[in-house]
Amino acid sequence: MANVSKKIKLQIPAGKATPAPPVGTVLGPAGINLQDFCTKYNDATKDKMGDILPVEITVYEDRTFDFVIKTPPAAFLLKRAAKINKGAVNGKNETVGTITEAELREIAETKLPDLNCYTVEDAMKIVEGTALNMGIKVEK
């Protein structure tokens, strides 16, 4: 396998990658085939339509590439669960929405593979901290 040329991280809506900006402007200078990437990404994410998915793209010196799709950002999942468009301006001092502990557990289970912890309980603490900073209260 060829040597790694660069690693690129993007957040792209599932199933909606196009060679237009922002994907094209980031991947074009890397020298990879934009249409090939978009087709592969869209095929891999068509079952998650509506989600925003982080993707790590590894570009090799021979202009081939691999990509790894991560879980949606915690903030995106929290906003969807709380049915809000954006988090609070003042974070902890302002409440813009609430979620149940069951919803928190579900989000933590979704995020667990990408978090720096081993148990769902630890993942729940991490996601709860994100929720509090966004102004989302967790009902216990």
pLDDT given at position 95: 86
In tens, the pLDDT along 5-31 reads 889 999 988 888 888 888 888 888 888
3-state secondary structure the chain: CCCEEEEEEEEEECCCCCCCCCHHHHHHHHCCCHHHHHHHHHHHHHHHCCCEEEEEEEEECCCCEEEEECCCCHHHHHHHHHCCCCCCCCHHHCCCEEEEHHHHHHHHHHHHHHCCCCCHHHHHHHHHHHHHHHCEEEEC
Is 70 exceeded by the pLDDT of residue 1?
A: no
Q: Which of 131, 134, 83 is nearest to 107 (CA)?
A: 131
Q: Span 71-77, mean pLDDT?
A: 90
Q: How far apart are CA 71 and CA 88, in angstroms?
A: 23
Q: Span 88-113, mean pLDDT?
A: 88
Q: Span 64-89, mean pLDDT?
A: 88
pLDDT given at position 89: 82
- In order of their start, the domains of the chain are 4-69 (3.30.1550.10), 74-139 (1.10.10.250)
With pLDDT > 90 as the criterion, what percentage of the chain qualifies? 26
In tens, the pLDDT along 25-50 reads 888 888 888 889 889 999 998 888 88
pLDDT given at position 102: 92
